[in-house]
Amino acid sequence: MRKSRLATLAISLVTTVAATLAIAVGPAQAAPADHYVALGDSYSSGVGAGSYTAESGSCQRSTNAYPALYAAAVRPASYRSVACSGATTSSVVNTQLAALSSTTSLVSITVGGNDVGFANIMTTCVLYGTTECVAAVQAAEDKARAELPALLRTVYTGIRNRAPSARVVVVGYPVFYQLGTVCVGLSATSRAKINEGINLVDDITRSAAQAAGFTFADVRSQFVGHQLCSYGEKWLHALNFANLGISYHPTAAGQSGGYYPVFRSVAG
C-alpha cells in the first residue's frame, strides 16, 4: 500500500512538472505570426550561393540566400521571395511590390547596386585597367548622388503603401576588398575606388531607409576578414570567367555567415 501511494505521488509530480514546462516553453518549433516577403536583387535572391529553386528560373533564388535561411530557421506563418537577379529599383516597383499586401508583416530588400551599374563597373575594371576603372566608379558615384535617393524613396514609399504595418529591413552590400594586403589582379588604386563606391551606395541607402522609417541592416563589418584579398575564408566570389554571373556575389558561406546573422539580429 505504501509503495502504491509513493508511485501515485511520483506520477503526479512528474505530470505537474511536465505541464509546467509545457506552459513555460510552449509548443516545439512554434511558428511566429509573421507574413514575410523578400524583395530585391541578386544579393537577396542568392546568386552565387547555389541550390537555386526550379520555379525561380533566371531570377536564381537560392535556398542558401539570407531570406530563405531566415524562413527555415524562424518558420514564419508565410514566406515568399520574389527577389530576382538583375533587379533595379524600377523592376522592384513594377514586378515585385505586388507580392505585398496589408497582411504582410515583415519585408526585406537589397537593391540599388544595379541602378548604378555594379556589373558594368567590375567589367570595366577587370578589362581596361586602373584609369578606366577609377573613371567608371566615379561616374557611378556621381549617378548615385544625383539619382539614387529619389529612386530608393519611390521603392520605399511603394512598400509602405502596400504593406502599411510591416517591419521593413533594408539590407546593404558588403565591401568587396580588404585593402593593405598583397593581392593579385586589380591595382590597389582600383580596389580602393571600388570600395569607396560601395560605401557610398550603402551610406545613401542607409539614409534613405532611415528617412522612410525602415531599419538598415549593415553587413559591411560582418564581412571584414572574409573579403577578396583577405587572409580568411572568402565569402565573395572573385571574377569567374566560367560563370561570370556569380562574380563578386556572396558564396553560400557569405549568405549564412555574413548576411543571415545581421538580418536575423534586426528582423527578430
Catalytic: 35?
no
- H helix or E strand, kind and range, residue 258: none
Which residue in 92, 201, 103, 100 sits closest to 154, CA to CA?
92
Catalytic residue among 42, 44, 45, 190: 42
Catalytic residue among 35, 226, 237, 249: 249
Q: Bridge partners of 228?
A: 177
Catalytic: 45?
no
- DSSP E strands: which ranges in 92-131? 106-110
- Phi/psi at 157 (nearest 5 deg)? -65, -40
Residue 236, burial from CB neighbour count under 10 angstroms (0-12, 13-18, 19+): buried
C-alpha cell at 29: 518549433
Q: Could you say which DSSP state residue 93 is in?
A: I
Q: Which residues of 53-77 are buried (b: 16+ CB within 10 A; e: fewer)?
A: beebeebbbbbbbbbbbbbeebebe
Q: In which residue are the cell numbers 558615384 written?
A: 141
> Annotated active-site positions, please?
42, 249
